[in-house]
Amino acid sequence: MANAHLFNGAKLALYMGTRLAVILRDDTPGLAFRNCWDLPGGGREGRETPLACALRECREELGLRVPARAIVWQRCYPAQDGARWFFVARMPRGMAHKIRLGEEGQRFMLMSEDIFLRHPDAIPAFRGRVAAYRRWRKSRG
Protein backbone atom coordinates (compact mmCIF):
# COMPACT_ATOMS: atom_id res chain seq x y z
CA MET A 1 0.00 0.00 0.00
CA ALA A 2 1.72 3.13 -1.21
CA ASN A 3 1.75 5.98 1.33
CA ALA A 4 0.02 3.76 3.89
CA HIS A 5 1.77 5.70 6.64
CA LEU A 6 0.05 8.96 5.58
CA PHE A 7 -3.52 8.11 6.54
CA ASN A 8 -5.83 8.83 9.43
CA GLY A 9 -8.64 6.31 9.05
CA ALA A 10 -10.19 3.42 7.19
CA LYS A 11 -13.65 2.03 6.38
CA LEU A 12 -14.79 -1.45 5.47
CA ALA A 13 -17.74 -2.30 3.26
CA LEU A 14 -18.49 -5.77 4.58
CA TYR A 15 -20.69 -7.91 2.37
CA MET A 16 -22.34 -10.82 4.13
CA GLY A 17 -23.38 -12.76 1.06
CA THR A 18 -24.98 -10.07 -1.12
CA ARG A 19 -25.87 -7.67 1.70
CA LEU A 20 -23.86 -4.93 3.38
CA ALA A 21 -23.42 -4.86 7.14
CA VAL A 22 -24.37 -1.29 8.06
CA ILE A 23 -24.58 0.55 11.38
CA LEU A 24 -27.09 3.24 12.32
CA ARG A 25 -24.97 5.95 13.92
CA ASP A 26 -25.88 7.32 17.32
CA ASP A 27 -28.29 10.26 17.52
CA THR A 28 -25.94 12.34 19.68
CA PRO A 29 -26.10 16.13 19.24
CA GLY A 30 -22.96 17.38 17.51
CA LEU A 31 -22.05 13.98 16.07
CA ALA A 32 -21.31 14.18 12.35
CA PHE A 33 -23.87 12.24 10.32
CA ARG A 34 -25.84 11.36 13.41
CA ASN A 35 -28.70 8.94 12.87
CA CYS A 36 -27.29 7.97 9.44
CA TRP A 37 -26.33 4.58 8.03
CA ASP A 38 -22.58 4.04 8.21
CA LEU A 39 -20.02 1.34 7.46
CA PRO A 40 -17.61 -0.10 10.01
CA GLY A 41 -14.42 1.88 10.37
CA GLY A 42 -12.82 4.84 12.02
CA GLY A 43 -9.61 6.49 13.07
CA ARG A 44 -6.13 5.08 13.09
CA GLU A 45 -4.59 3.98 16.37
CA GLY A 46 -0.84 4.24 16.79
CA ARG A 47 1.17 2.98 13.84
CA GLU A 48 -1.36 0.46 12.53
CA THR A 49 -1.68 -0.08 8.79
CA PRO A 50 -4.82 0.94 6.90
CA LEU A 51 -5.99 -2.67 6.72
CA ALA A 52 -5.28 -3.32 10.40
CA CYS A 53 -7.29 -0.17 11.21
CA ALA A 54 -10.31 -1.27 9.15
CA LEU A 55 -10.27 -4.82 10.54
CA ARG A 56 -9.89 -3.62 14.15
CA GLU A 57 -12.76 -1.16 13.77
CA CYS A 58 -14.97 -3.90 12.31
CA ARG A 59 -14.12 -6.15 15.25
CA GLU A 60 -14.94 -3.36 17.73
CA GLU A 61 -18.14 -2.21 16.02
CA LEU A 62 -19.62 -5.52 14.84
CA GLY A 63 -17.76 -8.13 16.86
CA LEU A 64 -16.50 -9.85 13.70
CA ARG A 65 -12.97 -10.96 12.99
CA VAL A 66 -12.73 -10.48 9.26
CA PRO A 67 -9.68 -12.26 7.82
CA ALA A 68 -7.41 -10.23 5.55
CA ARG A 69 -7.97 -12.82 2.81
CA ALA A 70 -11.64 -11.71 2.67
CA ILE A 71 -10.59 -8.31 1.25
CA VAL A 72 -11.48 -8.14 -2.44
CA TRP A 73 -10.95 -4.44 -3.23
CA GLN A 74 -9.24 -1.41 -1.76
CA ARG A 75 -8.77 2.21 -2.64
CA CYS A 76 -7.12 5.22 -1.04
CA TYR A 77 -9.02 8.52 -0.99
CA PRO A 78 -6.68 11.50 -0.48
CA ALA A 79 -7.68 14.27 1.91
CA GLN A 80 -5.90 17.35 3.23
CA ASP A 81 -5.74 15.98 6.77
CA GLY A 82 -4.55 12.50 5.77
CA ALA A 83 -5.81 9.87 3.39
CA ARG A 84 -8.74 7.61 4.12
CA TRP A 85 -8.66 4.01 3.01
CA PHE A 86 -11.69 2.10 1.84
CA PHE A 87 -11.76 -1.69 1.79
CA VAL A 88 -14.35 -4.19 0.62
CA ALA A 89 -14.58 -7.65 2.17
CA ARG A 90 -16.85 -10.53 1.30
CA MET A 91 -17.94 -13.15 3.82
CA PRO A 92 -20.62 -15.85 3.72
CA ARG A 93 -24.12 -14.71 4.69
CA GLY A 94 -24.18 -17.53 7.23
CA MET A 95 -21.59 -15.68 9.33
CA ALA A 96 -24.06 -12.85 10.00
CA HIS A 97 -25.32 -14.59 13.14
CA LYS A 98 -21.96 -13.74 14.74
CA ILE A 99 -22.49 -9.98 14.46
CA ARG A 100 -22.71 -8.24 17.85
CA LEU A 101 -23.11 -4.46 17.95
CA GLY A 102 -20.32 -2.77 19.89
CA GLU A 103 -20.55 0.36 22.02
CA GLU A 104 -21.17 2.72 19.10
CA GLY A 105 -24.32 2.89 17.03
CA GLN A 106 -28.01 2.29 17.67
CA ARG A 107 -28.30 -0.94 15.69
CA PHE A 108 -26.99 -2.78 12.69
CA MET A 109 -28.65 -4.44 9.75
CA LEU A 110 -27.83 -6.28 6.57
CA MET A 111 -28.90 -3.96 3.77
CA SER A 112 -28.99 -4.68 0.06
CA GLU A 113 -26.42 -2.82 -1.98
CA ASP A 114 -29.15 -1.20 -4.10
CA ILE A 115 -30.97 0.14 -1.05
CA PHE A 116 -27.74 1.46 0.50
CA LEU A 117 -26.85 3.27 -2.73
CA ARG A 118 -30.26 4.99 -2.82
CA HIS A 119 -30.85 5.45 0.89
CA PRO A 120 -31.24 9.13 1.80
CA ASP A 121 -29.76 8.47 5.26
CA ALA A 122 -26.66 6.58 4.09
CA ILE A 123 -23.53 8.70 4.42
CA PRO A 124 -23.01 10.17 0.93
CA ALA A 125 -19.24 9.60 0.70
CA PHE A 126 -19.69 5.91 1.45
CA ARG A 127 -22.52 5.56 -1.04
CA GLY A 128 -20.07 6.88 -3.61
CA ARG A 129 -17.34 4.48 -2.55
CA VAL A 130 -19.65 1.47 -2.63
CA ALA A 131 -20.80 2.62 -6.09
CA ALA A 132 -17.15 2.78 -7.24
CA TYR A 133 -16.62 -0.78 -6.05
CA ARG A 134 -19.80 -1.91 -7.81
CA ARG A 135 -18.66 -0.32 -11.09
CA TRP A 136 -15.32 -2.10 -10.77
CA ARG A 137 -17.00 -5.41 -9.94
CA LYS A 138 -19.39 -5.15 -12.89
CA SER A 139 -16.56 -4.21 -15.25
CA ARG A 140 -14.95 -7.55 -14.48
CA GLY A 141 -18.00 -9.50 -15.55
Residue 14 counted as domain residue: yes
- Residue 23 sits in a domain whose CATH number is 3.90.79.10
pLDDT at 4: 53
User: What percent of the chain is modeled with pLDDT above 70?
Assistant: 96
pLDDT at 139: 96
Helix (H, G, I), strand (E, B) or coil at 76: strand
The dihedral over CA atoms of 134, 6, 68, 12, expressed in degrees to the nearest 10, equals -40
The answer to whether residues 79 and 131 touch, using CB atoms and an 8 Å cutoff, is no
| Overall number of domains in the chain | 1
Q: The whole model's pTM is what?
A: 0.93
Residue 42 counted as domain residue: yes
Residue 1 counted as domain residue: no
| Across 11-19, average pLDDT | 98
